Amino acid sequence: MRVLGWLAVLGVAVGFAAGLAWAPREATQGEVQRIMYVHVPAVWVAYLAFGVVFVASVAYLWQRGAAADRLAHAAAEAGTLFLGLNIATGAIWGKPTWGTWWTWDARITSVSIVFVMFVGYLLLRRAVDDPKRGARYAAVIGIVAALNIPLVHFSVVWWRTLHQPPSLMKAGGATMPRAIVIALLINFVGFALTGAWFIAKRWRLLRAEAEAIA
């Protein structure tokens, strides 16, 4: 646990150093582009966390282990946090680059809808008094919300699109310089470790809470 925490700190520190100092300045966007080293890993980690929510929710409904429920709860919190970070950094980047904090572009919209879905999930968790019932309800909502992510994605893409297409994961390979890709991947590892650490920490806290009540 402690090791994981230090690894996360190390990963993010190396990632920031790589992103801020080592990676070259992007030619057209300038220094602003460096916010990508937070923006992009944050959304990857968020979606990974929502994947964990889905798997843990299914596992809970199947076997009814309290551990799975805590994992889903902790992962939903971490995922929402990272997705919020992604939306906030996106807005900060959008102002100098697109000239606006916010626009109803497809990917911004779909990401914010997913964000709101999981905020609803966390709200429901707080609104149920009986912990067992809360766990069952949350598992159902978690499954529906996770299954809904692709539907949200496609519907919003068809609705409109303006965002630049993903630069790294697309057919024909990445078009970015290697140093930028490497810095991005280091940051991803750092963020993923941080996310895992958050989840582990919250998981322990939730267990301590449950034990204190019991």
Partner 1 sequence: MSWTRRALAVAWKDLLIEWRSKETLNALLFFSLLLLFVFQFTLGPDRERLQAVLPGVLWLGFVLAALLGLGRTFLVEREHDCWEGLLLAPGDKSAIYLGKLASALALMLTVEALVLCLFAVFFNVDIWRALPGVALVLGLGTLGLASIGTLFAAMTSQVRARELLFPVLLLPVQVPVLLGSVKSTEALLLGEPLGAVSHWLGLLVAADAIYLVAGILTFDAVLEG
* Stretch 22-51 residues interacting with partner 1 (CB under 8 A): none
Listed residue (40, 172, 45) closest to 107, CA to CA: 40
Whole-number minimum distance, CB 82 to partner 1, in Å?
18
- The Cα 141–Cα 122 span in angstroms is 10
For position 162 contacting partner 1 by CB under 8 A, the verdict is no
Q: Which of 10, 13, 140, 208 binds partner 1 (CB under 8 A)?
A: 140
DSSP letter at 104 equals -
Token reading at 77: 């919190």
What b/e readout covers 92-126, taking b as 16+ CB neighbours within 10 angstroms?
ebbeeeeeeeeeebbbbbbbbebbebbeebeeebe
Q: Is 169 helix (H, G, I), strand (E, B) or coil?
A: coil
Of 154, 204, 205, 210, which one interacts with partner 1 (CB under 8 A)?
A: 154
CA distance 71 to 126: 16
- Our finding on whether 129 is near partner 1 (CB under 8 A) is yes
Answer for which of 78, 117, 184, 193 binds partner 1 (CB under 8 A) is: 117
Establish if 127 lies at the interface with partner 1 (CB under 8 A). Answer: yes
Is 159 one of the binding residues for partner 1 (CB under 8 A)? yes
Cβ burial of 129 (10 Å; 0-12, 13-18, 19+) is exposed
Within a 10 A sphere around the Cβ of 65, how many other Cβ atoms? 13
Min dist CB 31 to partner 1, Å, is 35
Please say which residue, 3 or 127, places its beta carbon nearer to partner 1. Answer: 127
Tell me the site size for partner 1, rule CB under 8 A: 30
Q: Of 34 and 70, which has the nearer Cβ to partner 1? A: 70
Residue 13 sits in the site that holds partner 1 (CB under 8 A)? no
Question: If binding is defined by CB under 8 A, does position 92 make contact with partner 1?
Answer: no
The residue ranges that bind partner 1 (CB under 8 A) are 61, 113, 116-117, 120-121, 123-124, 127-129, 132-133, 136-137, 139-141, 143-145, 147-148, 151-152, 154-156, 158-159
